[in-house]
Amino acid sequence: MNQLKKGKMSIDPLFQIGKVDERIYGSFIEHLGRAVYGGIYEPGHHDAGEDGFRQDVIDLVKELNVPIVRYPGGNMVSGYNWEDGVGPVEQRPKKLELAWRVLEPNKVGTNEFAEWAKRANTEVMMAVNLGTRGPDAARNLVEYCNHPGGSYYSDLRVSHGVKQPHRIKTWCLGNEMDGPWQIGHKTADEYGRLAVETAKAMKLVDPTIELVACGSSNIDMPTFPEWEATTLDYTYDEVDYISLHQYYGNTSNDSASYLAKTLEMDRFIATVIATCDYIKAKKRSKKTMYLSFDEWNVWYHSREADKAIEPWTVAPPQLEDVYNFEDALLVGSMLMSFLRRADRVKIACMAQLINVIAPIMTETGGPSWRQTIFYPFMHVSLYGRGTSLQPVVQTPAYDTNKYTDVPQLDSAVVHNEEEKTLTIFALNRHLHDGLDLEIDVRGFEHYQIVAHTVLEHNDLKAVNTKAYQPVKPHDQGQSTLQDGKLEARLPRASWHVIRLKHQ
């Protein structure tokens, strides 16, 4: 029987978690499936320019306001020779790409992607190959990308028509090197030694760059969190971030448990922070290690179809999950997990951006459209910039088949002092019961509600397709504010963005 439960929240501007780094709204484009070829790049498409990049896709990326995009992988980078993707396109080799068993034509490489990033108003987060390669190739790539000129690799870039350096700031030291599926898989000691020597060489070329060491591929890896401890024991003084990766899926069709999976995500983040701080204490260091959650999303819908893909073809449709409404709710919840640890999570990349487990889908030769997960990502990216606050929350809880004491209300709060805005992100994750939420905002005098955006649908499995997009937000949320008390009604299984502004 459906019920209307009650919850309370108190928000004070002095209860600060930390400043939100805008890079937590990053994303990821790998040479995988139709992310590059048929995604961002489709020469001959009516919306593509002379460089082959689709303007309709760029416009949607701008809607999401993505500040950084990880590239070129992913699993692919562990067998990638960056030199194959630069120079005259007609002279570039076609290579067998072993991670996804496709044919890589190398029509898009470092310079093309850097140009696309400029057009999309984003920065590049470059990954180097520590699977089949090491310090030499990595330091050469930094020289090619960042050195102004007068050296072999910087002059090579100039000869390729790119006079100004790309000045890429953030670099990943490999990808998921703890995974047996990874080309060049390493033990923690092997990776730690390779990573620290690569880091030192890269920073000798450009001391201004930031580096991300590989953490565990997911929380269920048998070596977690020992991998983090060993890796950081080697790299702590040379790197700035440790990576986290995690994907979720409703494989058992248990929606109540599915929407509670961010309880695991919170635990994952907390454990990695504790491991970082252990190594900090062990080394008597004053340096704080930050987190880069540079792969995260929902991923499970396409896995059976992916098994039937013919190998050694160019850009076959891979990992093209069609997301439903409950996936969008979970994505909103995952984003709030980052906001609640804004003091330590400084980078996060939704994997991926176009076609491959992505918020944006395209049809070859046809239109592009927004998947259900597009909307919560857009909301938090646009309105979740400022200082993350720690609210005091009272919420009903419930049990699922997998979890106990699941909070009905999942929430995060961001105060933008410069713009004088306060944004409350709220998810009622209960499948049947509504929630009447009372919020004390007396610490924000003269603030008024300017919008209450809601994403809701009667069918948890509703999807957006090229032809029909029924899952869209509306601004008819039920909320009132009087004498510092905000009252909002949150229907069952619904996502809310309540925005206040100083008047």
Residues with catalytic function: 176, 295
Q: Which residues contact 459 (CB under 8 A, 6 or more apart)?
A: 325
Query: What's the token pair of residue 311?
Result: 């190998």
DSSP states along 247-290: EE--TT--HHHHTTTHHHHHHHHHHHHHHHHHHHHHTT--PPPE
Closest CA to 75 of 190, 183, 212: 183
SS3 annotation, 201-259: HHHHHCCCCEEEECCCCCCCCCCCCHHHHHHHHHHCCCCCEEEEEEEECCCCCCHHHHC
Cα-Cα-Cα-Cα torsion 104, 105, 111, 113, nearest 10 degrees, comes to -60
- Three-state DSSP string of 27-84: EECCCCCCCCECCCECCCCCCECCCCEEHHHHHHHHHHCCCEEEECCCHHHHHCCHHH
Burial class of residue 133 in the structure, from the number of CB atoms within 10 Å of its CB (0-12 exposed, 13-18 middle, 19+ buried): buried
H/E element, 116: helix 110-119
